[in-house]
Structure 1
Amino acid sequence: MTAHRRLIRRTALAVTAGAAALVLAACGGSGSGSGGHDMGDMGSMTSDSSPSATASAKAGAHNAQDVSFAKEMIQHHRQAVDMAELATSRASAQEVKDLATKIKAVQDPEIKTMSGWLTSWGEQVPADMAGMDMSSSMPGAMSSDDMDKLKKASGTEFDKMFLEMMVKHHEGAVEMAKTQKADGKYGAAVKLADDVITAQTAEIKEMNKMLGKS
């Protein structure tokens, strides 16, 4: 009797262990059933589909031209804003003051936008080069002597000098923007370049009209 009971007990333990193994297998399956996920599935959920990976991919969709465009156009815009700020106190014609206000209102936010791109790409935002000679480093930029002359002018003399300098400045920005459109990769930067071409080409015509050239 004792041997018979031992045999029954061993058989029951074996059946229990087998049932437990089946339950564990069902819980740790491939996830094709209801609610189950294995480690492979968890890995796929936390890789490319994660927000950080998506943001990284978006930030990486740029090339060297995009970086160069952002860095140079930030400096170019900063100088235009400096010139526009001078016009608010030195210009005599209201239309010149209005134009300067519009230039500043457009280009200040674009500086912030491009600075944000550089930061997202792990690039340094360029230091402000106000007062330095930028005429040899980018198209249409004023030299330090040009800026000094503009600061000393006032009234109608300032108006004429400002308009002539800003036409040259805008022409340089349009040239830079065309290069970006041709060689850039980052969609938002190419779109901003297109906006620069459209807006500043229109302003060049407006300023030439003020100068009596059209």
Structure 2
Amino acid sequence: MKMDPGMKMDPKMKMDPGMKMGEGMSGMDHMAMTKNTPANPYAEAAMDMHHKMMVSGADASETWTRQMIEHHRGAIAMSKIAVTKAGDKETRAMAQKSIAMQEKDVAELESWLKGHGKIPQ
């Protein structure tokens, strides 16, 4: 992970792989982590996906299905960015292939919802 040179980090962050989430992150600019940069043009799409994955259904099966739909939609959004921004031809080709696969998966998950009398998202 590239770090801002002015960022202060708790030394435990480097030494303790079993550290709990959030420990050693007090000096980080968390808002900056959600902004697109030239090296990470996917940050906003990823945050949007994670927010949308908080959806839930009537039971564990529906909740999983709805969360996976948003997960795949997030992958589609990030792959579309890669198709236009990635400098490597092979990466762009993999991203294009990923879009087709993820769209197929979303359709399958939506079909499951419909088949179980659920309203598609």
TM-score normalized with structure 1 length: 0.31
CA offsets 1:190-210 (integer angstroms, 9 cap, x no match): 122112101100000000000
* Residue among 186, 189, 197 paired with 2:91: 189
1:68 to 2:40 alignment:
yes
Q: Distance in 2 between matches of 1:174 and 1:186?
A: 18
Q: Distance in 2 between matches of 1:135 and 1:191?
A: 22
Q: Distance in 2 between matches of 1:141 and 1:165?
A: 9
After TM superposition, the runs of 4+ consecutive aligned structure 1 residues lying more than 3 A away are: 134-137
1:135 Cα deviation after fit? 8.7
| 8 Å contact from structure 1 (residues 139, 172) kept in 2 | yes
Q: Rg larger in 1 or in 2?
A: 1
| 8 Å contact from structure 1 (residues 139, 175) kept in 2 | no
Partner of 1:140: 49
TM-score normalized with structure 2 length: 0.52
| 8 Å contact from structure 1 (residues 139, 176) kept in 2 | no
Identity %: 16
Partner of 2:59: 157
1:136 Cα deviation after fit? 8.2
What letter matches 2:108 in structure 1? E
Q: Distance in 2 between matches of 1:161 and 1:210?
A: 12
Q: Distance in 1 between matches of 2:76 and 2:84?
A: 12
What letter matches 1:184 in structure 2? A
Q: Which has the higher contact order (CA 8 A, sep 6+)?
A: 1
Unaligned 5+ runs, structure 2: 1-36, 115-119
Q: Distance in 2 between matches of 1:136 and 1:184?
A: 15
CA offsets 1:2-51 (integer angstroms, 9 cap, x no match): xxxxxxxxxxxxxxxxxxxxxxxxxxxxxxxxxxxxxxxxxxxxxxxxxx
Give the aligned length.
79
1:160 Cα deviation after fit? 0.2
Partner of 1:174: 76
Secondary structure of the structure 2 residue equivalent to 1:191: helix
Q: Distance in 2 between matches of 1:188 and 1:176?
A: 16
Q: Distance in 2 between matches of 1:181 and 1:207?
A: 24
What letter matches 1:172 in structure 2? G
| 8 Å contact from structure 2 (residues 72, 103) kept in 1 | yes
